Structure 1
Amino acid sequence: MSDCSGSSSNFGRLLILLAMATLIGPNPSYGHNGAVAVAHPAQGIQIDGDLSDWPNDLKTYPIAQVEAGDKLAGKDDLGAHFRIAYDTREHALYVAVEAEDDSVVFDGPAEALWNTQDGCELYIDAAHAGGESLAIQYGRYGNQTQAFGPSDDLVKTVKVAVARTGRHVVYEWRVDLGSELRADRSIGFDVSVADKDEDGSFSWIAWGKGTQKLSLPDRCGEALLVSPETRFGEVAGQIEWRVPSQSPLPSRVRIQSSRNARLWREAIVDPTGVYKAALLPAGPYQVGPVDSAELRVDETSHVEVQVEADRIANAEPLQVTPIPWPGLIGSEGVLLDPDALNPSEIDRFVQAYVNYYKIPGISIAIIKDEKVAYHRAFGVKNTATQEPVTDDTVFEAASMTKPVLAYVVLRLVDRGILNLDTPLYTYLPYEDIAHDDRYKLITARMVLTHRTGFPNWRTGKLEIKSTPGTEFTYSGEGFVYLGKVVEHLTEKKLDAICQEEVFTPLGIEDAYLAWDERVARAYATGHRDTLPLPKNKVEAPNMAFSLHIDAQNYAKFLIATVQGKGLSEQTSKEMLRPQVQVPDQKRVSWGLGLSIRETAGRTSYGHGGKNPGFTSRSAYDKDRRWGYVFLINNESADEIENVLAAYLISGKSVLKPDQK
C-alpha cells in the first residue's frame, strides 16, 4: 500500500498514513519480508518502454501479493511481474514491470493519485545499513511521476517510461543510486502495482508481503546485486541462551558477509531456536542476534560460517545474552502512597526505561488528585540532529485526537445543535458512501462508539463492512464523516471549532490540528525504532489522527473530559457509560469517544494512538483521581505502558518473573 497521497508537499496525507492509526499495534523488528531477487549487470538499457534492449536471460519475479483494496476479480483482472538489472558505470538500477490489466485507468484526479488510477511503485533502501537508513518510494501514478523520502528533490534521481499495448502495460524504471550502487551487495527493494478499474474497484498488489513499505522498510524484500558467475548456498543453525532463561529467544538473526558489510540478510528464528537462510552468495559470513525493543540482547556475540555454492552450511550454535531490565518497580504502585511521588525517582525510572527500549523522545505527565502532578520531557526530537525534546515539544497524538471531536460533539448536543441518535445524513449527505443506502443509518453515537460498519481506513472506495449499529469496528473514517457534519452545522472550520469549544475554555496551549509554522518550530520527528522518518505535514485537520500536543496539555484535556467540565451532568454520564463491548476483550468497552478498561476493580478512561513513527497512551481513573499520559516518537508505547502502569499503580506483581 502506498504511504503517499497527493503531491510531495502533502506527503503521507490522509488515507494511507493512517492505515496504522489504531489503538494498539506491534512494533516490528528490522528484517525483511522474505522476498529476494537477483539483479545482474546490464548495459545499454534505454528508458523508453521498449524492453527489447534488456538481457533475455534475466529471471522474472511475480507481483502477486494482494495486500490492499478489493480482491481481484480473476486472473484476467490483473497480473504482473518484474525483472531487475544494474549498471555500476551509470550508478543505475533498472526495473522492468509488466502488467496484464483488463481495465486500464490512467486519468485519475491530480489529488490522492495513488488509489484513483493505475500505477506502479518502487521502494528502495539503497544504503541497506541495517536499521540506520531510510527507504525511498518512487511512484508512477497515471501520467505523473513522484518520489517520497527524506529529500525534496528525489524525483530527479528517477526516470520511468510507461508503454501500453491493449491490456499489456510496461513500466520501465531507471533509478540513480549514486555511490550506493555497487556490485556484490544487497539493497532493500520492493515493487507494487495499483489497479483502478472502470467499475470503481481498486486493488494493490506487491512483490513482497506487507504494506507501508516506505515507513516500515522491514516490509520490503531485497535485491542481490551480483555477477552472472555468482554461486549461492544456504546457512542453517540454532541459537540458545548462554544462561538458561524462560524468555523467548530473539526472533531474528543477522547473517552478514565478512567481506562486505552491505551484503547481509536476516533470517527468522523458529520457537525452537532454529534458523535457515537460502540464496546467499558463497563466502565467509558472521551470524549474530538482532537486538530489538521487545527483547534486548547483546549483539556482540556471533559465530563464523563459510557458505559454499550449492550446499547447506551448518553454523555452530549461537549463544546469546539478554540485556537485563532496569528494575526500579516496587511491590506497590507509587500512586498508592500519598508521599511517594518523588520527581527525581520518577525521572530515574523514566530515563532508565527510555534508554532500555531505545526510545528517541518522550513527553510524559502523571495525574494525581485531579491535577498534573508531574510532567517531563526526555530524549531527542530527532536522532539524526540530536536536538533535545523540551517541555513544549509537540508529538503526533494520533488516534488520541478522537476524544477531542467527541467532546466537541457533546458540547453541541448540550446546546441542541446535534442529536446523538439522528442519522448524520439528515444533517449532511456523504457522497463518498452514497452508493450504499445503509449509511443513512449512521448516527453520531455510532461513530463515537465505533459501530458505523466502516473500515478503519478505505483502500479503494469507501465501503460498509457491517450494518451500522450492529458490530464494533474501529474506524477513523467515521470520525472524518462526523467532522464534516460538525463543520457543516457550525459553519466553522474544525481548527476554529476545537479552539473555541475545547482548547481555550480548558486552558490548553500548544495544541494544533494541522501543519503550520508553530508546529514546524516545536515538533518531534517520528522514528521507526531509532530511525527518523519523513514528516507527515497534514494540511487540514483530521479528527481521527492529526492532533499535535504535549503530555501535560493532553492530561489537562483528559482530566476535564472525564470530570465532565463544560458538559451537562447527563451528557457527561452518557460519555462515560459503557455502550459497546470490544470483542475478545472482556474488560474493554467504549463510551462516547473514550475507551473504558476494567482492571482489578478499577475503571479507567482514555485512548491510545498510533501513527507511523509515533505512539501514545492515556488513562485516567475518575474515582481515584489518578492517571497518566505519554507520547513518544517511535512505536514502543506498549512496552512503556506496561512498566509505567506497574510502577504507578499495580506494582511488579503483574510483570513476568524476569522483568521484576
Structure 2
Amino acid sequence: MPRSFAIAVLTVTFCLATRAHANPDADATAALMKEIPSLMQQTDIPGLSIAVVRHGRTAWVHSFGTVDPSTNLSVTYHTRFSAASLSKTIFAYAVLQLVDQGRLDLDTPLTHYWPERIVDPKDDPRLDKIAARIVLSHRTGFPNWRPDGGQLKIYFTPGERFSYSGEGFVYLQRTVEHIEGKPLNDIVQRLVFAPLGMNDSTYISVPGPNITLGYTAGGQQRPPIRSDKGNAAASLLTTAHDYALFLEAILSGRSLKPSTLRQMETPQSAVDPTCTNCTDHAPAKLSTDLFWGLGWGIEQTPTGKYLWHWGDNNVYKAFVAVDLRHRNAVVFFANGYNGLSIAPAIVHDAIGGSHPAFRWIHYDTYDSPGVRFIHDTIHDGAQTLTTYAAQLNDGTVTEENINSAGYFLMRRKRYDDAIAVFTRCLELHPKSANAYNNLGDTYAETGKTDLAIENYEQALKLDPTRQDIKTALEKLRTASTKNEAAH
C-alpha cells in the first residue's frame, strides 16, 4: 500500500447521559488521539478501532483510518474486525456461566459429556484427563493447531504444564455444543451478546459492508477467516464498542458468581518464559510474573494485576489489557500485518503500568530496526540492504525480518528485489530453510524451474519436515518431466 496513504479519521465518541462522568483522563485520550494516526502511518495499518474503559465504564470509543485504502471507506463505530484470539475470552466467559448454571463442571473430564475420541491414537487415555479448567488455562497437551489434514495428538500429560492451544478451545466448544444441543454462536448469543447489547458481534461468517479487510505488508487484501459453524478460538467478528461492553461485564462480575470470577482471575499455571507453544519440552523455569487464568493471561507486576490477551489472525491484530486494581481497560483492533507492533505504545498511553506480556509474545515494536527495515524495503526495494548494512551484519535485523521483507516484495511481483533480499539473507544465514524456500517460490513464479527446484531441494535438506516445500517440489518436478517428454 502507498507509504503516504491518507488516513481518514472518523471520531465516534460514546457518551450517554448516564455516563457523564466518563473519560476523566483527558491527557491519556489526547495522547492516543495524537499518537495513533502517526503510528498507523509508520506501520502501514489502514484501519484501527479502540475503546477505553475507566472505572468499569466505557469512556471513549474511537475509529481511525479505512476499511479499504483504495476506496477510502472509513472505519466506523459499527465496523467489525476479526478479533482473532480475543474470541477465546468471550467464549471462556460463556463457559463459566454454564459452570455456574450447573451445566458443566470445571474439573470433570470432557469425555464425560461428549465421548467422541478426537485424538490419534483414539485409545490415548490422556484424553480422559482433559477438563474445562485445563482447556481454559491452556494445559491440554494439544498443539496450537494440528497440521493441515493431520490428526490431533496429545504431546504431554494434560494439566502438567502450559502450552497455548486453539485446538483445546475448539474441543471445549464441541463439548459445549453437545451439552447445549446448539451451535456456538447461538449459545454465546444467549449468554453474552444479547444480555450485554453486543449487537455487532458474531462467531459466524456474515456478509455486509461493515467488515474490515486485512492487509499484508505487500498491500494484498485478506478477508477474515470464514467459519459457517464458528470457531471459539479465532472466528469472532466484533467492534471495539461491543468488546468494551464485555469488559464492563468482566470488571463488574456480571452474570458470574463471585467465586467463579475469582477463579477466572486466579493464576492456574505459570507460563514458560521462553515460549508460547511449548509442546516439545518442559520449561527450564517458570515465569514469576506471567500466568494463565481461566481464559485470560494474567500479569502480576509491581504496578498491579492485569488481565490480558493478544490476537493474531495473520493480517488482523488485536490486544486487550485490563487493570483490575483501578478497573480500567483498553482494547483495540487493527486490519494491518503490523498491528501488534504498536500495542505497547497504545497500552502505555491508555492505562500505563508494566506489561511483561509484550516481552513474552515478542513482536517487534513499530520503532524497532526490524520493523523499519521491512517497511522501508517494501517501499524502497533492495537498496535498503545497503542502508541497513550494519544492522543486518550484527543481527539487529533478524533472519525473520529479512525473509518477511523479501516475501512481501515477491508477492508484489518485484522479483529482482526479492531475489536480492533472499540472497543476502542466505549470505548472512546460510542455514535458513525459509530463505531457500522463498527463493524457490520466486524462481518458480518467474518460470526459472531449474533454479526453483535447486532451492527447494536445499530448503528440504535443512528442514525435511516441511510438507509445503515437498508439495511444491513434487509439482515442479512433475511439470518439468511433462515438458521434457513433450519436446
Q: What range describes the TM-score normalised by the shorter chain of this pair?
A: 0.5 to 0.7
Say whether residues 1:475 and 2:165 are aligned partners: yes
CA distance in 2 between counterparts of 1:481 and 1:555 reads 27
More strand by share: 1
Task: Report what 1:360 is aligned to.
Answer: 46
Aligned equivalent of 1:586, options 268, 288, 313: 288
Structure 1: which amino acid aligns with 2:58? V
Report the secondary structure of 2:63's partner residue: strand
**TM-score under structure 1 normalisation?**
0.47
Superposition pairs for residues 596-615 of structure 1, below 5 Å?
Answer: 596-615=298-317
CA distance in 2 between counterparts of 1:578 and 1:339 reads 30
In structure 2, relative to structure 1, the CA distance for the partners of 1:593 and 1:339 (3 Å cut) is: closer
Query: 2:201·2:237 contact (CA, 8 Å) conserved in 1?
Result: yes
Task: Report what 2:33 is aligned to.
Answer: 347
Report the secondary structure of 1:349's partner residue: helix
Task: Report what 1:533 is aligned to.
Answer: 221
CA distance in 2 between counterparts of 1:343 and 1:411 reads 34
Once the two structures are TM-superposed, the CA of residue 339 in structure 1 deviates from its matched residue by 4.8
In structure 2, relative to structure 1, the CA distance for the partners of 1:504 and 1:454 (3 Å cut) is: same
Report the secondary structure of 1:477's partner residue: helix
Task: Report what 2:192 is aligned to.
Answer: 502
Structure 1: which amino acid aligns with 2:95? V
- Cα distance per residue 1:442-465 (max 9 Å; x no partner): 000000000000000001211101
More helix by share: 2
**TM-score under structure 2 normalisation?**
0.63
Once the two structures are TM-superposed, the CA of residue 343 in structure 1 deviates from its matched residue by 4.7
Say whether residues 1:444 and 2:132 are aligned partners: yes
Figure out how many residues of one structure are paired with residues of the other and give that number. 323
Once the two structures are TM-superposed, the CA of residue 527 in structure 1 deviates from its matched residue by 1.2
Query: 1:360·1:379 contact (CA, 8 Å) conserved in 2?
Result: yes
Report the secondary structure of 1:431's partner residue: coil
Q: Mind listing any 5+ residue stretches in structure 2 that lack a counterpart?
A: 4-22, 274-286, 359-364, 369-487
Once the two structures are TM-superposed, the CA of residue 555 in structure 1 deviates from its matched residue by 1.6
- Cα distance per residue 1:54-78 (max 9 Å; x no partner): xxxxxxxxxxxxxxxxxxxxxxxxx
Aligned equivalent of 1:493, options 183, 188, 197: 183
Structure 1: which amino acid aligns with 2:270? Q
- Cα distance per residue 1:65-109 (max 9 Å; x no partner): xxxxxxxxxxxxxxxxxxxxxxxxxxxxxxxxxxxxxxxxxxxxx
Task: Report what 1:428 is aligned to.
Answer: 114
Q: Mind listing any 5+ residue stretches in structure 1 that lack a counterpart?
A: 1-130, 133-290, 292-336
Query: 1:361·1:379 contact (CA, 8 Å) conserved in 2?
Result: yes
Superposition pairs for residues 34-433 of structure 1, below 5 Å?
Answer: 338-341=24-27, 343=29, 345-433=31-119
Aligned equivalent of 2:320, options 604, 618, 634: 618
In structure 2, relative to structure 1, the CA distance for the partners of 1:338 and 1:522 (3 Å cut) is: closer
Task: Report what 2:404 is aligned to.
Answer: none
- Cα distance per residue 1:370-421 (max 9 Å; x no partner): 1111111111112333321111110000010011121111111111111000
Query: 1:399·1:544 contact (CA, 8 Å) conserved in 2?
Result: yes
Structure 2: which amino acid aligns with 1:634? G
In structure 2, relative to structure 1, the CA distance for the partners of 1:357 and 1:512 (3 Å cut) is: same
- Cα distance per residue 1:572-600 (max 9 Å; x no partner): 11111111001114311111001111233
Q: Which piece of structure 1 moves more, 382-391 or 574-583?
A: 382-391
Structure 1: which amino acid aligns with 2:214? G
Task: Report what 2:244 is aligned to.
Answer: 555
CA distance in 2 between counterparts of 1:595 and 1:530 reads 32
In structure 2, relative to structure 1, the CA distance for the partners of 1:428 and 1:633 (3 Å cut) is: same
Query: 1:422·1:444 contact (CA, 8 Å) conserved in 2?
Result: yes
Task: Report what 1:512 is aligned to.
Answer: 202
CA distance in 2 between counterparts of 1:413 and 1:339 reads 37
Report the secondary structure of 2:306's partner residue: strand
Once the two structures are TM-superposed, the CA of residue 533 in structure 1 deviates from its matched residue by 2.8
Say whether residues 1:638 and 2:340 are aligned partners: yes
Larger Rg: 1
In structure 2, relative to structure 1, the CA distance for the partners of 1:530 and 1:651 (3 Å cut) is: farther
In structure 2, relative to structure 1, the CA distance for the partners of 1:561 and 1:425 (3 Å cut) is: same
- Cα distance per residue 1:133-178 (max 9 Å; x no partner): xxxxxxxxxxxxxxxxxxxxxxxxxxxxxxxxxxxxxxxxxxxxxx
Structure 2: which amino acid aligns with 1:404? I
In structure 2, relative to structure 1, the CA distance for the partners of 1:612 and 1:345 (3 Å cut) is: closer
Task: Report what 1:191 is aligned to.
Answer: none
Report the secondary structure of 1:598's partner residue: strand
The percent of aligned pairs where both chains have the same amino acid is: 37
Report the secondary structure of 1:419's partner residue: coil
Report the secondary structure of 1:646's partner residue: helix
CA distance in 1 between counterparts of 2:173 and 2:91 reads 7
Aligned equivalent of 2:262, options 573, 584, 589: 573
Once the two structures are TM-superposed, the CA of residue 554 in structure 1 deviates from its matched residue by 0.7
Q: Which piece of structure 1 moves more, 557-566 or 450-459?
A: 557-566
